[in-house]
Structure 1
Amino acid sequence: MDLATQDAIAQSGILAPSADNGLRYYFEYQDHAIVIWADQEFVSNPERHRRVLDLLAYGAAVENMLLRASELGFSAKLSWFPSDDPLLIARLDFQANSGILPDVLAHAIPDRQTNRQVFYKGAPSDAQRTRISVELEKIPGVRLIWLEGAERKLALKLIWLAESARFQSQRLHQELFSSIRFDLNWRENADFGLPPASLEVESLMRPMFKALRHWPLMRALNLIGLHRVMGMRAAYLPCVQAPALALVCSSLQLDQAALAVGRGFERAWLCATLERLALQPMAASVVLPLQNDADQGISSKARSQLAAGWEEICRGDTPLMIFRLGSMDSTAAPTLKTGRKPLSSYRLSR
């Protein structure tokens, strides 16, 4: 396999979504393989929800790479954690295959993006929902639940609860605001982290939002319930009016579930892109219950409420992703699409 082909496959990998636009992996090229290495933070961070978010990102990146390889006429053998080294995430061994059929989802890789506009319009059709479900569930151990009726009502409560906790807890507040590039103005883009413009904060609210990155102010305002208001604006309001709300869950063990959901969710997102549907992922309410220590930010009570609520909906499976959908043609376009560092920043020696 030549260098140009490996570059094309790896480039598709870095176009996959990741938590807060922070890609924490590197590619090592071998003769007929690409090996994916995590950075040190992956193994040193004690917080389980952060590990799961990284695993979701690894799954999405690998799925993009497999899709791009199929376009280039290669099949691949995928091995997760192929050695005892905890930093060695995956190995993809490629083989030229003239009979492989290119997966049409690969066409959507460059166009996939998050739309954080508050108001979505235009519900996906039944046929579009079916196509998205079919693509996602091609990954074994993963299923999609379209949230409707009582399940949607319960999910909205859980989403609001979790998002409010992100503003109420000092540790989660720091995690949230540290990912936002306040060194940039409200028009500039970034190749790492979240540029403020991507958050779709209303212009009148921008000075206050920027000020809230200071924990003493946030803590004081939480005494009058601001965390609830922020949770409503950040997640509940966008979800309550969304034409469609869906949950991705898995029957696998946690690490394998996160990798599989990352792959399946990426397939769903690419399918939605081809169907001209706007999408925003919202993982807080499903990953925060994974914390096993109240010092990590969320209270034991809130964690128990979230876990019990999702168990009622998932019935034994592990929920790992929520997303909302609307028509791309009826919903305002995102202000900008976050950038990526050049591939050379993620590529190790050949």
Structure 2
Amino acid sequence: MTATGLTARAPSGAAPPDEVEKDATASPPQRRRHRLSRSDRRDLALGLKYISPWLIGILVFVVYPVGYSIYLSFTRYSGMGAPTWVGVGNYVTAFADPLVGKAAGNTLFFALIAVPLGLVVALTLALAMNQNVREVAWYRTIFYAPSLIPAFAMSFIFIVFLNPQFGAFNQVLNLFGESNVNLLGDPTGVKIAIILMAQLGAGNAALIFLAGLRNVPRTVYEAARVDGAGPMRQFLSITLPLLTPVLLFNLITGVSGALQVFTEAYIVTNGTGDPDAGALFYMMYLYKNAFGFAELGYASALAVLLFLAGLAMALLIFWCSRRFVNYDVEAS
């Protein structure tokens, strides 16, 4: 009994004081570990068995060569005998080598012109292949067919086409009263020829653009036409923004391919990679060091630098893509 003659009671539904104190000091419940049952382990083993060819292929043909190349980049190795450890000597030599700078400059020149031009050509082909006309299947076949020609065959075709004596290019110039030009003998002309040659493979990127065009909802174009938007306005406000994810993919693959341009330069220069010919691209110089000069350690260092440059460019593109890539269809 209290002074007022009433016993203090806890509010209805409240826990007794001793239980409250016990709950306050109690440790949080431990999360129970999930143990795989016998059937789960059997399914996991079966899944690993099915993907084991892929795992073995990745380990043998990707992980091991990359790791071994990184190791060789710190050694002097000619392909015979044991590698000799030189530390970062190959990288120091690479940064001081003027031919590395020249090859990197030629490759960058090629990438800055060939990749944007290739995207424009591929998108134009995709728009042509997306037309609702009767013969569209034939158009798609014709536009895609040049990309099926191997790069070495296309290079030989261009050598004949641009021949300064009897090539079709100079014969057309002669019709307009111009004298013959030797594009393949000019340092800038040979790069332009290889850039134009690369556009014949735009059919692959065009098919990817075409798939993106087919996924754009028709209702969005119908609403735009009701609002009075013309074809150009529809392209700039609907088609291009909704194709930005496809554009990003083609941009990444295009940059990756441009950094590794090799076949065309090798055939055009007859495998010499003459620095004065203008076709000394980075992969060409890497190839010469590895198989021409037997400097596999130095060539591995060049390969690592190329990988880091490509990775940096890809990360930069992905970072910039946050500003222009649109993954949603929003009605405004």
Note whether the superposition's TM-score is higher than 0.5: no
TM-score by length of 2: 0.24
Structure that is richer in helix per residue: 2
Higher strand proportion = 1
TM-score, with structure 1 as normaliser: 0.24
